Amino acid sequence: MQIKDFRELETVNVSIDNGIAEIIFCRPEKLNSMTALFWDELPEVLQTIDREAAARVAIISANGKHFTAGMDLAIFQDMLSRFDGEPARRAEQLRSGILELQKALSVIEQIRLPVIAAVRGACVGGGLDLVCATDIRFCTEDAYFVIKETELGITADVGTLQRLQHVMPSGLARELAYTSRPMKAEEAFSCGFVNAVCCDFDQLMAHARKTAKQIAAHSPVAVHGTKVMLNYSRDHNVADSLDYVATWQAGMLQVADMQEAFQASKERRPSYFEDLYPRRSAIK
């Protein structure tokens, strides 16, 4: 996918301005349910923005009253239709399919730019899998979050159960997973799952854009390194994480952005940092 192809997308709208990419779910009449095409388009958009260094930060939001109702029912129906054939081969096929869905959302963590989720209304099932993978979460007062899978007779398998205990107390995460009860905005804020609760959608987007602007003003090398270190430290012990950041800095710490930051501070002006280079293959 190329940047110009964004105009042809069916499940999301994309705009990029001043280093900030806005990715907007655009099927409000279907509650922005996550169709098979969505699971292709969203990761391709994120990877393209990252590959071309087209933005320094991304905001994911949605048109309509709800962020997303989660996985489209057609996907579940298709899954149920596949329960035939030789058991080992059937199981291997299902496992591969689940891994593909996981990979689609893990892209959010793997790209160089931070991703902000701006949620209003319902964020259900696969939508919660998605926002758990983002760096920062804001929501409106009417937002609520549901691990719907347990109620549907399924163990959630696309990332919520793996990430949720890192962003809220384990006991609460388990309660939400076992009961499938909604977690409303106030509770989501009090437990630290969301960073801020806004009174309406306009305030939500203003807050998300203000935060994105602050991030985009910093050195993209420093921001990328910070994201890498935070994710690495989440999944490793302190000693390994300290060793990793020392090795990272040995190669990545350069003087250009530091000099610009110090000079800008001295002159009381905004800093001007070069964008990251586009991703390119080492052999092409």
Q: Up-side HSE of residue 127: CA atoms within 13 Å toward CB?
A: 28
Q: Indicate if 207 and 132 belong to the same structural domain.
A: yes
The CA R_g of the chain, rounded to the nearest whole Å, is: 20
Answer yes or no: is 15 within a domain: yes
CA 14 to CA 38: how far, in whole Å? Answer: 13
Banded pLDDT at 79 (limits 50, 70, 90): confident
Q: State the greatest distance between any 2 C-alpha atoms of the chain, in Å, as a whole number.
A: 71
Tell me the mean pLDDT in the region 105-134. 98
CA 14 to CA 25: how far, in whole Å? Answer: 9
Look at 197 and 284; give whichever has higher pLDDT.
Answer: 197
What is the structure's pLDDT at 63? 98
Q: Indicate if 109 and 244 belong to the same structural domain.
A: no
Whose tokens are 């106030």? That residue is: 186
CA 25 to CA 67: how far, in whole Å? Answer: 8
Tell me the mean pLDDT in the region 157-161. 96
Q: Indicate if 230 and 210 belong to the same structural domain.
A: no
CA 145 to CA 184: how far, in whole Å? Answer: 6
What is the structure's pLDDT at 200? 97
Structural domain span for residue 167: 3-216
Q: What is the pTM of this model?
A: 0.95
Banded pLDDT at 19 (limits 50, 70, 90): very high
Closest C-alpha to 126, from 96, 103, 105: 105
Residue 16 forms beta bridges with which residues? 21
Q: Assign residue 208 the CATH number of its domain.
A: 3.90.226.10
- The 10s digit of each residue's pLDDT in 20-59 is 999 999 999 999 999 999 999 999 999 999 999 999 999 9
